[in-house]
A and B are shown apart, each in its own frame.
Chain A
Amino acid sequence: TQLLEQSPQFLSIQEGENLTVYCNSSSVFSSLQWYRQEPGEGPVLLVTVVTGGEVKKLKRLTFQFGDARKDSSLHITAAQPGDTGLYLCAGVAADKLIFGTGTRLQVFP
């Protein structure tokens, strides 16, 4: 069974702080996606990373795919209350998504 472990599980920070969320697995994935989910809604895709070592930036969010394509990280610079939500990584395997355990982020003003 392929598992994706995310850490930390919970994160509460003040506005303006930086943070990093990790997504780790013992399995290799063809690509990895990051989603954000707000309460009462479905997840929304933030980014897809495909190549080992790839780095993608989306405004204040920086995503990195590990060289071996087994892990990924999400770094947020100067977090804002609007960044609050559940962050989920998802690895692509056999045309299906394997979701990570999730990181709940709360950013206080």
Chain B
Amino acid sequence: EADIYQTPRYLVIGTGKKITLECSQTMGHDKMYWYQQDPGMELHLIHYSYGVNSTEKGDLSSESTVSRIRTEHFPLTLESARPSHTSQYLCASSSWGREWQYFGPGTRLTVT
């Protein structure tokens, strides 16, 4: 059973606020990913990590930052939210030797 959690599920916040989106998985996966997805559109990779203390930027430029201090936890932070950050953010994980990814339910972020 794949268990990957994201909190909050929905967030409405004002411009300029600092936010952290949480992602945790209980499968012991080394690889974790953050995607950005506009409604009904494709997913764009914004960050990924292959293990503790390893983080890389994805194909889509993002003003967010990530950290990987523990295997199971991969939070994403926006220092100063803007309306252009309004989107759905999806976290995923996978294990070495397996190419498919397990996705969390996502966080829908609205910046007013």
Q: Which residues of A contact B (CB under 8 A)?
A: 1, 30-31, 33, 40-45, 48, 86, 88, 92, 95-97, 99-102, 104
Contact = CB atoms under 8 A, between A and B. Distances in A.
Given A41-B105, A42-B104, A42-B106, A101 B99 contact: no
A31 B34 CA distance: 21
22 contacts: A30-B99, A31-B99, A33-B100, A40-B108, A41-B105, A43-B43, A43-B90, A43-B103, A45-B100, A45-B102, A86-B40, A88-B43, A95-B31, A96-B48, A97-B99, A97-B101, A99-B35, A99-B42, A99-B44, A101-B41, A102-B40, A102-B42
B32 interface: no
Interface of B: 4, 31, 33, 35, 40-45, 48, 58-59, 90-92, 99-106, 108
A97 B43 CA distance: 9
Nearest to A103: B40
